[in-house]
Homo-oligomer: A and B are copies of this chain.
């Protein structure tokens, strides 16, 4: 997905929001905004927003000296999600379509996004998403491909959300490789977060090596790219992974809530819509 003009003020706002978590020193924060302002002219609109965000968060780390600004928040969200896990598992298991309910719960977890300015309430938002209509819904194709494949690559997104990914992985009933970011970026899930979320009990965890808050293949490590290319079914969670992979030639299923107006516009849906969408390759196979 290309970077839209609307992403630019959002980058500046994100820099301030993340910067303020790292320091309350107004002088450092102003210097951070000065530098982010300077970066705007070097943003090519044909790059993906996650590539740009990668540079913005690098600047935040350098200016504030804090490597993992969201560390504490990630821990809190994982703990909160773990507390909710048993009742969510019960919802999945007691539903008429446990796979679909697990997909909904996994998407509901996607509200935990600290790159966004929106507030969220985990319990309240999950309840809404459990009953919300999908704006894009390639579920039949998803089940068909799930049935065919003997391995799955699951691209994680945020810490906390990762806990609910477990419920979907349990319903997939196939070997799953769960890929995480290569280093802390925003509140995205890393290897440590994935283990804290209990994902090592249901999947093999690997690092994609990306320093960006999304999957950009050119920034990923070789072994991840190899895995990506050879896996039959890829599940991509969240906005960041969509931004990096929206034009992929592989069959990828995007599961997300369109939390920002730009992503919603790119997907042709409304803000806050929920999505289970196959990449164009999947659409082409179906025709």
Contact = CB atoms under 8 A, between A and B. Distances in A.
Nearest to A41: B34
A26 B38 CA distance: 19
Interface in A34-74: 34, 36-41, 45
A6 to B, nearest CB: 7
Interface stretch (A7-15, A148-156, A158-166, A202-210): A7-15
A237 to B, nearest CB: 27
Contacts of A15: 9
- For chain A, give the interface size range: 20 to 34
* Oligomer: number of copies: 2
B16 A6 contact: yes
A20 to B, nearest CB: 8
Interface in A1-30: 5-6, 8-9, 12-13, 15-16, 20, 26, 29-30
Nearest to A13: B9
Main secondary structure of the interface of A (DSSP, over half): helix
A33 interface: yes
A26 B39 contact: no
Nearest to A45: B30
Shortest 4 CB-CB contacts between residues of A and residues of B: A37-B40, A9-B13, A34-B41, A37-B37
Given A5-B33, A36-B40, 18 more contacts: A5-B16, A5-B20, A5-B30, A6-B16, A8-B12, A8-B16, A9-B9, A12-B12, A12-B37, A12-B40, A13-B13, A26-B45, A33-B40, A34-B41, A37-B37, A38-B38, A38-B40, A38-B41
Interface of A: 5-6, 8-9, 12-13, 15-16, 20, 26, 29-30, 33-34, 36-41, 45
28 contacts: A5-B16, A5-B20, A5-B26, A5-B29, A5-B30, A5-B33, A8-B33, A8-B37, A9-B9, A9-B13, A9-B15, A9-B16, A9-B33, A12-B12, A12-B37, A12-B40, A13-B13, A26-B45, A33-B40, A34-B40, A36-B37, A36-B40, A37-B37, A37-B39, A37-B40, A37-B41, A38-B38, A38-B40
